[in-house]
Amino acid sequence: MEHQRPVECRIQEARLIFRPVCCQSESGLWLLGVASTVGWVDQRGPDQYTLRAAVMDAHRAEAEFDNACAWLEAAMKGPMDPLAAEVWVFDEAFRHVLLVKHRWRGWVPPGGRVEPGERPRDAARRELLEETGISADLLEAPAAVTVRSYHRDWSVTLGLSYGAIVARSLQVTEESNQPVAWVPLSQDWEGAFPEDRPRIRRYASQLSERTGA
């Protein structure tokens, strides 16, 4: 009987080894595959192109929190969860910030997961367009870099925040069941990351001083 080699394949996020087992029955030879899980592999994680861009932008960010650059350098040595990117969008007077109401995070800047083969900057622009209908040029230097978990059941990951300035008169298109609103910076908003409120206000103030608004 020819020996059957183990066959490796991936089902969703689990990497399985199928070890063929042959047994004889009255009607002939049956080949049964017995699967054994050898580990969980997150195929959604960042590739080298994404990581190189993330490292560059993390070091260029105007504000660093949670020792994010050092965290990223260490995390790159092993498997990583997807990175995150968002946009802090301000009106031209720097009195309002554009937020979306996420189903469990509350009011947060438009953003989401960085897909493999995508730069964080490009992911931020894509998420902004998908969640608000606004296509905007991002400011050259990222606004901030942080390390956080975006869900209580998820591991922490790197988050990059980019800045953009647009007119409040631009038409906004909401995603299904995810409202969009211009929120006055003078008011608090309910969201999963209250520490972002002073950070966003501080960044808006810096931009206002630079532009003379």
Per-residue pLDDT of the chain (213 residues; tens, 9 = 90+): 444 444 333 333 333 333 444 445 455 544 444 433 333 334 568 999 999 999 999 999 999 999 999 999 999 999 999 999 999 999 999 999 999 999 999 999 999 999 999 999 999 999 999 999 999 999 999 999 999 999 989 999 999 999 999 999 999 999 989 999 999 999 999 999 999 999 999 999 999 999 987
- Residue-wise DSSP of the chain: -PPPPPEEEEETTEEEEEEEEEEEETTEEEEEEEEEEEEE--TTS--HHHHHHHHHHHHH-SEE-TTHHHHHHHHTTS--PPPEEEEEEE-TTS-EEEEEEETTTEEE-SEEEPPTT--HHHHHHHHHHHHHS---PPPSS-SEEEEE-SSTTS--EEEEEEEEE--TTS---PBTTB-EEEEETTS---BS-TTHHHHHHHHHHHHHHHHT-
**Which pTM does this prediction carry?**
0.80
Residue 88 forms part of a structural domain: yes
What are the structure tokens assigned to 67, written together? 């020792």
Q: What pLDDT score was predicted for residue 162?
A: 99
Is residue 126 domain-resident? yes
Within a domain: 35: no
Give the domain range for residue 116. 48-211
Q: Which CATH number covers residue 104?
A: 3.90.79.10
- Residue corresponding to tokens 């810096």: 206
> Which tokens in the block code for residue 186?
């003078």
The verdict on residue 60 lying in a domain is yes
Number of domains within the chain = 1
Return the pLDDT at 7: 38
- Do the domain assignments include residue 19? no
